């Protein structure tokens, strides 16, 4: 089970991107018609972005890495900008528990009776990945990350496509042109040939949210020489009310 959380940690490998989210430049949001304008599209995306103070979720999860293939049930609790708590069970038995804060993380591997408490900088030193809490938080909410106002906008079949690149990174996002729901995003670190992709699906209305929530999530990380990881989530229970407890007891 520890490898499950190490796979999650791998998602942080793109956290040294500049995260400048564009805001609206005028009032009103209209559906794209005719020539697409980037500021109009970004307004629609921001208006439909998922955000809540609390999130309480249960999900079926499958994890594949170069050395592991395993499934189980994940229990996730999130306090926006404060903490992410997760417990993973297999056949009803908890295998591991994690608590991630903006500056630190705690991991209890119950099966091997191992406890880890480290600053997030530990991940940077050990796994050579710049660690940032808000990246993981936005991915769990189903939002795009590193969405900037320096992108090209175009149509790709039925999708709105946003693309951009710098000397270090290339980004590719696909959105529904009516609902502005994120279908997929792909981020590639060019110098290291590392890639992160997220595919959202099965959007549905959920109590407590003004926007629909993607109940399925496929997260894939290609870390080049560091290996690959894929996580498939299917959310079966969702609540966006709180406060929530995030227990971390050992017994």
Task: Judge whether 216 lies within some domain.
Answer: yes
Task: Judge whether 94 lies within some domain.
Answer: yes
Q: How confident is the model at residue 227 (pLDDT cuts 50, 70, 90)?
A: confident
**pLDDT tens sequence across 24-58:** 334 444 445 567 889 999 999 999 999 899 999 99
Task: Judge whether 73 lies within some domain.
Answer: yes
C-beta of residue 32 within 8 angstroms of C-beta of residue 149: no
Please tell me the least confidently modeled range out of 58-62, 127-131, 169-173, 181-185: 127-131
Greater pLDDT, 122 or 220: 220
Task: Judge whether 92 lies within some domain.
Answer: yes
d(CA 124, CA 131): 6
For the question of whether the overall pTM of this predicted structure is more than 0.75, the answer is yes
User: Which residue's entry shows tokens 């991991």?
Assistant: 107
Task: Judge whether 61 lies within some domain.
Answer: yes
What is the domain-level CATH number for residue 41? Answer: 2.50.20.10
- The number of distinct structural domains making up the chain is 1
Task: Judge whether 245 lies within some domain.
Answer: no
Segments forming the whole domain that contains residue 105: 2-24+35-238
User: Which residue's entry shows tokens 């870390």?
Assistant: 223
- In sequence order, what E strands does the chain have? 54-65, 69-79, 83-90, 93-101, 104-109, 114-119, 152-156, 159-165, 169-175, 182-189, 194-204, 213-222, 228-239
Task: Judge whether 250 lies within some domain.
Answer: no
């Amino acid at each position: 089970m520890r490898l499950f959380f190490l796979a999650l940690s791998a998602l942080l490998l793109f956290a040294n991107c500049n995260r400048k989210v564009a805001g609206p430049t005028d009032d009103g949001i209209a559906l794209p018609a005719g020539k697409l304008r980037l500021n109009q599209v970004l307004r629609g995306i921001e208006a439909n972005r998922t955000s809540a103070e609390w999130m309480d979720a249960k999900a079926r999860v499958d994890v594949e890495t170069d050395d592991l293939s395993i499934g189980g049930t994940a229990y996730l609790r999130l306090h926006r900008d404060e903490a992410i708590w997760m417990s993973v069970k297999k056949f009803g038995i908890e295998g591991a528990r994690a608590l991630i804060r903006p500056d630190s993380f705690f991991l209890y591997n119950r099966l091997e009776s191992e406890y880890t408490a480290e600053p997030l900088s530990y991940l940077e030193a050990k796994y050579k990945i710049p660690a940032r809490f808000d990246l993981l938080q936005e991915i769990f909410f189903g939002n795009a990350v590193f969405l900037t106002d320096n992108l090209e906008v175009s149509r790709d079949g039925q999708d709105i496509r946003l693309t951009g690149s710098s000397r270090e990174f290339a980004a590719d996002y696909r959105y529904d042109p009516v609902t502005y729901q994120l279908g997929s995003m792909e981020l590639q670190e060019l110098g290291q040939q590392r890639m992160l992709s997220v595919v959202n699906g099965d959007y549905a209305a959920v109590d407590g949210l003004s926007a629909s929530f993607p109940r399925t999530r496929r997260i894939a990380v290609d870390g080049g020489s560091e290996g690959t990881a894929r996580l498939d989530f299917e959310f079966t229970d969702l609540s966006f009310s709180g406060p929530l407890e995030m227990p971390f007891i050992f017994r």
